[in-house]
Chain A
Amino acid sequence: MGWFDWLLPDLAWQSLTPELVILLFAVLAPLVALWDADRRGMRQFTLIGMGGAFLLSLGSLLEWHFSIPGTGYNFTLEYQGSSLNGAFVVTYASQFFKVLFTAVGFLAVLGVGRPLKGRAEEDFGEFCSLLLFATLGMMIVSSAQELLTLLLGVEMTSMSSYLLAGMRRDRVGAEAGLKYFTIGAISSGLLVFGISLLYGMAGTTHIPDLARALTAHGSFDAISLVPIVMILAGLGFKISSVPFHAWAPDVYSGAPTPVAGMLASGSKAMGFVALFNVFLVGLPGLKTNWQLLVALLAAVSMVVGNLVALQQTNLRRMLAFSSIAQAGYVLIALAVGTSAQDGGVYAVGGGLFHLVVNAAMKLGAFLVVGAVLSAGVGDDLGSWKGLGRRAPILGFAMTLFLLSMAGFPPLAGFASKFVLFSGAVDAATTQNLGWLLGLAILAILNSALSLYVYLRVLRTMYVEEGEEGRLVIPPSVTTAVIVCAAFVLAVGFWPQPVLDASFRAARSLLGL
């Protein structure tokens, strides 16, 4: 190991390689942009960074084995390692999420349609660098076993995304950035204050130690409710659950579409990882205090998200509200997580599965909207008339994404919703918790309601007559959309590998 052992003695370097690759590329990106005149190399540079980190995370998840013949040199990528006194821990769960985050980052960069227009061209180096930093923050959160690491990861992603959301050099971009920043700053303030109170109660900020310090006392107590509400508010902003969702429609429609897609998939998944970590690993002893609260948030998010999505005529706003509803579905897993018989593995596994599927379909849908926008068509429902004929591939992919969001049978969204909701029903029947059953029924009713939201778009795209003429779509965007659509189809027909990985990740997340 050599001299850096002395510098940073407690660092498992080998398990940190995906993060180090992303960090290196993020730091170098603005420099590379100085040399790269037409910005084409910039995209390739970022794709190499994201792709490299993706392969390293995937390799460690699947434990790829390398050996160079003749030299006897053997090498296995693995997912073990604990750094910085257990503040940064590499587990199966953390690598599972890193695969998701780097994949989202890769596809988001690939899906940048026309960054090369107007003055935004000058910013593409910074854009790529910030996207890499946002991904790095998410990866740190997925490995965080300490509230400090978790906070720093969340803030790293947040601050990069404030700037990414305000990247457009016009009034809309400025407003989106400012709105995201103000609401984000408020919620991070609450998050820090909540953590400070939790530290005062437990005397530690190490998440597994929190669970030991705050053991069950069974009864409801008002004091611990204060930090719980504050932390829920701080992280509820990242997942855009209902009382903290006001920024989502504005930011999603003002930000560049790949960024909006990243916020609705990767950044949202990061919020859930943080929530699962804090509440299921750190605070299971206080579950009488937070369980009903989380269930309430889940119910309100589903209902408000879907009902408001019904009234939207702007596609990006509709996707934003549908993304709020999806946050409600996954929150069910958090509410169920501690009350199921097998320690919540089934429910949490379902939640993680839905996060992965949701990432593919939300990112895909936003990239389709972005591609259509860059081809000169608006993002209000009226201008999408007959779009299915004007852009057949994108139209078909959008159909898959929308039907999958509604939970239509042969697609991925059906499989993930099925596992997620049946986890709640399972917990309700085995633990005799009637309100969980109510939550599951509400979720199923909401899925039915949401079908109307999405079918309305499909009707506009295929049945109604509009302008004619094929749209010109950049090939890189089409590639990214096809990857997302293929994932949605493949997982729909053959969910087993992803499902197994999700359950294994849930088990590793819960420390079972």
Chain B
Amino acid sequence: MIPIAWTLTLSSTLLAVGIFGLLAQRSALRILVSVELVLNAANINFVAFANIRGQSQGLVFTLFVIALAAAEAAVGLAILLHAYRHVRSVDVNKMTLLRW
């Protein structure tokens, strides 16, 4: 059995990579990918915790989060296409009409 500290290290690293991507990337497409990383980091946590506790709750949660990620990708790509059609770019720094 893999020690819980190892899986937690993996998931935290994945979270860190995801958050770095969210903050550093300008392309909305890459931001979308980074969000998937964060969600999957959470999934690893759920599975690991469910495993050491011998429960199925965490596994069920993971299934729902996977479905959620798929729905989010669908909605996100639709919005991305919409933006590309009007701005001709998915660079979030070029979204300058609405600013404060």
Binding site for B on A (CB under 8 A): 148, 151-152, 155, 159, 162-163, 166, 170-179, 181-182, 185-186, 188-190, 192-193, 195-197, 199-200, 203-205, 249-250, 253-254, 308, 317
Chain B interface helix/strand/loop/mixed: helix
**Contact among A190, A197, A253 with B45 in the assembled complex (CB-CB below 8 Å):** A197
Shortest Cβ distance from residue A151 to the other chain B in the assembled complex, whole angstroms: 8
Shortest Cβ distance from residue B17 to the other chain A in the assembled complex, whole angstroms: 12
Nearest residue, chain A, Cβ from B67: A152
Asked if A175 and B98 make an inter-chain contact with CB atoms under 8 angstroms apart, the answer reads yes
**Contact among A177, A178, A193 with B42 in the assembled complex (CB-CB below 8 Å):** A193
Chain A interface helix/strand/loop/mixed: helix
Which residues in A have their C-beta under 8 angstroms from that of B55? 203
Q: Given A193-B38, A253-B98, output 15 extra A-B contacts at Cβ < 8 Å.
A: A152-B68, A162-B75, A166-B83, A171-B97, A174-B86, A175-B98, A178-B80, A178-B83, A178-B92, A185-B35, A185-B72, A186-B35, A192-B39, A196-B58, A250-B100
Asked if B78 and A148 make an inter-chain contact with CB atoms under 8 angstroms apart, the answer reads no
Which residues in B have their C-beta under 8 angstroms from that of A152? 64, 68
| Mask: chain B, 55-77; 1 = CB below 8 Å from A; 0 = not | 10110110011001001100110
Residue from B76, B85, B90 having most chain A Cβ neighbours under 10 A = B76
In the complex, A4→B65 CA distance in Å?
27
Nearest residue, chain A, Cβ from B74: A159
B79 at the A interface (CB under 8 A): yes
**Contact among A182, A185, A254 with B92 in the assembled complex (CB-CB below 8 Å):** A182
Which residues in A have their C-beta under 8 angstroms from that of B32? 185
Shortest Cβ distance from residue B75 to the other chain A in the assembled complex, whole angstroms: 5
Nearest residue, chain A, Cβ from B36: A189
Question: Given the known A-B contacts A189-B35, A193-B41, are A181 and B75 also in contact in the complex, defined by CB atoms under 8 Å?
Answer: yes
In the complex, A193→B38 CA distance in Å?
7
Nearest residue, chain B, Cβ from A317: B100
Asked if A175 and B57 make an inter-chain contact with CB atoms under 8 angstroms apart, the answer reads no
Nearest residue, chain A, Cβ from B94: A175
Question: Given the known A-B contacts A178-B28, A185-B35, A250-B99, are A199 and B83 also in contact in the complex, defined by CB atoms under 8 Å?
Answer: no
Nearest residue, chain B, Cβ from A312: B100
Question: Given the known A-B contacts A193-B41, A199-B58, are A174 and B85 also in contact in the complex, defined by CB atoms under 8 Å?
Answer: yes
Nearest residue, chain A, Cβ from B85: A174
In the complex, A317→B100 CA distance in Å?
9
Asked if B82 and A203 make an inter-chain contact with CB atoms under 8 angstroms apart, the answer reads no
In the complex, A250→B99 CA distance in Å?
7
Which residues in B have their C-beta under 8 angstroms from that of A195? 42, 61
Asked if B79 and A166 make an inter-chain contact with CB atoms under 8 angstroms apart, the answer reads yes
Asked if B83 and A174 make an inter-chain contact with CB atoms under 8 angstroms apart, the answer reads yes
In the complex, A249→B99 CA distance in Å?
8
Nearest residue, chain A, Cβ from B98: A250
